[in-house]
Structure 1
Amino acid sequence: MTEKVARFETALTRLLGCRHPIISAGMGGPARAELVSAVSNAGGFGLLGMVREPPDVIEREIAAVRAATDRPFGVNLIPAGTEPRLLAAELDVCLSAHVPAMCFFWDVFPEVVARAKNAGAIVLYQVGSLQDAIAAEKAGADVVIAQGIEAGGHVRGRTGILTLLPEIARCLHVPVVASGGFATGGGLIAALALGASGIHCGTVFLPTHESFAHDYHKQRIVEAQAGDTVHTDVYAINWPPGAPVRVLANSVTREAGDHLFGNNPYLLPREVIAQEPDYPIYKFSTNSPLRTTTGDLEKMALFAGESSALVDKRTSAAEVIDRLLNEAIEASTRISPASG
């Protein structure tokens, strides 16, 4: 373990106080306290996915993380996708709890960055373009996460990460993290070689034992092959217009045919297809199936990145991190084999 820590210490690990340059994405729904604490305990950096969650839920999840680990972690919120009063209340809870780090996504909101930093939190901002990366750094973000089009869930990126990452890394002065398509240790080495200080992974952690995703969603990812994901905005309810996602192909994406884009969330029909204990889930909603979901799960948003083709088993989060590190060491050895 000492070799792994020494080999992959970066500006990101030093800033965040984690051992390994691996961040688990703040996936709304699956990334709850159990997953976040497992990732942080294993030396990565876990992010709670608390998008549009009530303040009392966020308070409970933060407390649960702290009960399970003394390692640093963060909370992911999406200002552009959250009603302003709810966002303010969410921030109140996070900052009152002195969460070590806040991660934000989509449009850059300088006032939100300022509020988090004034409260002493490290700020990570996930973006999909050089323009937004520069805006995030200018707003005061301590870390910029560059998201390529390969990523699962909501996709801000419009270009591949192999182009976007070096474009951003050469222009910024803060640590840059690569997101989209990373599920192997070789990918970690590639990201570091292209100027990243670490990787931000969602798909590889979604099928883990600690993830709050439904078993159906986990199994679909494990079974996925290259080409099984779809980039579309057909899953639009709950988000502003023009917010594409990457999901596993299903009956809904097939039914959409040539209309994978241009779907207005305010005009889509409200047909109930599934149920959470406290609310119904509509067809075309951005809700993904969780442990507590019942109903027609096949029609729901089965978020997955292109890296799902590289995920072939369900393990613990700690095993994922250990595999990534071992593969990274093997990959670096292949590039620079020890002299005989």
Structure 2
Amino acid sequence: MTTNAAPFATELTLALGCRDPIISAGMGGPARAELAAAVSKAGGFGLLGMVREPPELIEREIAAVRAVTDRPFGVNLIPSATESGLFAAELDACLAARVPALCFFWDVVPEAIRRAKDAGAIVLYQVGSVEDALAAAKAGADVIIAQGIEAGGHVRGRTGILTLLPEVVRHVRVPVVASGGFATGGGLIAALALGASGIHCGTLFLATHESFAHAYHKQRILDAKAGDTVYTDLFAINWPPHSPVRVLANCVTQEAAEHWFGNHPDTLPREVIAHDDGRPIYKFSTDSPLRSTVGDHEKMALFAGESAALVNTGTSAAEVIERLVGEALEASNRLRLAMQPAWGHRHHGSATSNC
């Protein structure tokens, strides 16, 4: 495959300035500079996951990306899950650094979109419903990421992506990106066929070499089979109430099998199970294990989407991008061949006798 070719140029690649219509999710924790830079350098669009991070760290991570590549990238922030003062400082840091793009998630906050747009940044907004897609587009978002219930991490979507995606595409006029369950080139072709301009992948990139996720988390993803994820609000500490997540089943989900829903962050016990950079991590918190985390990794939130069953080998981010594009080309060729009529079924005209 020619690495400089752009066989899948779309409205998304035009808007973001990347070669391939593949976005790596801004996963809080795992999506640090090493991963975001590797994805962008390889032709995709990397997002830094800077959720509830101090502005100083955000500044360092942005600088670290730019030290590796001059390709465009973005920063993912979550307004409604971040204390207002901290969010304002996070956004200030991003805008002062003139990041090319900001990605927001969860509740639609028009003021966040306005501030980013006024500073000249492209705005992506991840949503889980047609209503939120319309609200984000109306507020000025340039790209909508439609998240299906198959997705890992915090899940805004309540319906499957195959239903949600065409509905969102039908209602908004900006490029739409499909999120939730995508880990193959065939999935990229399916998303494009349903009207998307690209795909947004988290689980797939969480397992790469450049991800800042702990090796234990990566291996659990590589070992996962279909049906190994759990949709629950059990991991609730640090987030607003009633915020479901998708994780790999572990000892915590097994112990609480009768209580996967109805958990409130204020009533869950504060049992310290790990530490990260000196900070205590509680059982039932939304922290996932990172390279810097020490403690009982099995009891932490092992975020993963249903696509974990399709992620079987730990590779570099560049290899992931190359594989996705190669598989997508193969899938599109198979479709073209499948749609050609078989020789035995071609129309041969009338066989009526003249006698």
- Give the shorter-chain TM-score range: over 0.9
Counterparts of residues 85-96 of structure 1 (less than 5 Å):
85-96=85-96
Counterparts of residues 81-120 of structure 1 (less than 5 Å):
81-120=81-120
* Gap runs ≥5 in structure 1: none
- The one-letter code matched in structure 1 to 2:296 is D
Q: Distance in 1 between matches of 2:7 and 2:71?
A: 20
| Corresponding residue SS for 2:117 | helix
Q: Cα offset for 1:277?
A: 1.6
In the alignment, which residue of structure 2 is the partner of 1:51? Answer: 51
| Corresponding residue SS for 1:247 | strand
In the alignment, which residue of structure 2 is the partner of 1:271? Answer: 271
In the alignment, which residue of structure 2 is the partner of 1:227? Answer: 227
Q: Distance in 2 between matches of 1:171 and 1:4?
A: 34
Whether the 8 Å CA contact 1:29–1:288 is kept in 2: the answer is yes
Whether the 8 Å CA contact 1:165–1:178 is kept in 2: the answer is yes
* Gap runs ≥5 in structure 2: 344-355
In the alignment, which residue of structure 2 is the partner of 1:217? Answer: 217
Whether the 8 Å CA contact 1:50–1:58 is kept in 2: the answer is yes
Counterparts of residues 132-147 of structure 1 (less than 5 Å):
132-147=132-147
Q: Distance in 1 between matches of 2:70 and 2:204?
A: 24
Normalized against structure 2, the TM-score is what? Answer: 0.94
Q: Cα offset for 1:323?
A: 0.5
In the alignment, which residue of structure 2 is the partner of 1:177? Answer: 177
Could you report, residue by residue, the CA deviation over 1:156-176 in whole angstroms, capped at 9, with x for unpaired residues? Answer: 000000000000001110000
Whether the 8 Å CA contact 1:5–1:20 is kept in 2: the answer is no
Q: Distance in 2 between matches of 1:197 and 1:5?
A: 17
Q: Cα–Cα, structure 1 residues 223 and 83, in superposed 2: closer, same or farther, change >3 Å?
A: same
Identity of aligned residues (%): 76
Is the aligned partner of 1:72 residue 2:72? yes
Counterparts of residues 30-49 of structure 1 (less than 5 Å):
30-49=30-49
Q: Distance in 1 between matches of 2:243 and 2:5?
A: 38
| Corresponding residue SS for 1:337 | helix
- The one-letter code matched in structure 1 to 2:319 is E
Whether the 8 Å CA contact 1:4–1:325 is kept in 2: the answer is no
Could you report, residue by residue, the CA deviation over 1:176-228 in whole angstroms, capped at 9, with x for unpaired residues? Answer: 00000000000000000000000000000001000000000000000000000
Q: Cα offset for 1:251?
A: 0.7
In the alignment, which residue of structure 1 is the partner of 2:346? Answer: none
Q: Cα offset for 1:4?
A: 7.8
Could you report, residue by residue, the CA deviation over 1:91-113 in whole angstroms, capped at 9, with x for unpaired residues? Answer: 00000000000000000000000
Q: Distance in 2 between matches of 1:178 and 1:128?
A: 11
Whether the 8 Å CA contact 1:222–1:314 is kept in 2: the answer is yes
Q: Distance in 2 between matches of 1:255 and 1:6?
A: 48
Whether the 8 Å CA contact 2:113–2:141 is kept in 1: the answer is yes
Could you report, residue by residue, the CA deviation over 1:292-335 in whole angstroms, capped at 9, with x for unpaired residues? Answer: 00100000000000000000000000000000001000100110
Q: Distance in 1 between matches of 2:207 and 2:162?
A: 25
Q: Cα–Cα, structure 1 residues 6 and 66, in superposed 2: closer, same or farther, change >3 Å?
A: closer
| Corresponding residue SS for 1:124 | strand
Q: Distance in 2 between matches of 1:98 and 1:292?
A: 29
| Corresponding residue SS for 2:203 | coil
In the alignment, which residue of structure 1 is the partner of 2:21? Answer: 21
Q: Cα offset for 1:2?
A: 5.0
| Corresponding residue SS for 2:124 | strand
Q: Cα offset for 1:6?
A: 3.7
Q: Cα–Cα, structure 1 residues 258 and 3, in superposed 2: closer, same or farther, change >3 Å?
A: same
Q: Distance in 1 between matches of 2:103 and 2:3?
A: 29
Whether the 8 Å CA contact 1:155–1:246 is kept in 2: the answer is yes
Is the aligned partner of 1:122 residue 2:104? no
In the alignment, which residue of structure 1 is the partner of 2:328? Answer: 328
In the alignment, which residue of structure 1 is the partner of 2:348? Answer: none
Whether the 8 Å CA contact 1:33–1:65 is kept in 2: the answer is yes
| Corresponding residue SS for 2:162 | helix
| Corresponding residue SS for 1:288 | coil
In the alignment, which residue of structure 1 is the partner of 2:192? Answer: 192
Q: Cα offset for 1:5?
A: 3.7
Q: Cα offset for 1:258?
A: 1.6
Equivalent residue pairs, number: 340
Whether the 8 Å CA contact 2:18–2:40 is kept in 1: the answer is yes
List, as ranges, runs of 4+ consecutive aligned residues in structure 1 with deviation greater than 2 Å. Answer: 1-7, 337-340
CA RMSD of aligned residues (A): 1.2
Whether the 8 Å CA contact 2:6–2:20 is kept in 1: the answer is no
Bigger CA radius of gyration: 2
Q: Cα–Cα, structure 1 residues 3 and 278, in superposed 2: closer, same or farther, change >3 Å?
A: closer
- The one-letter code matched in structure 2 to 1:257 is A
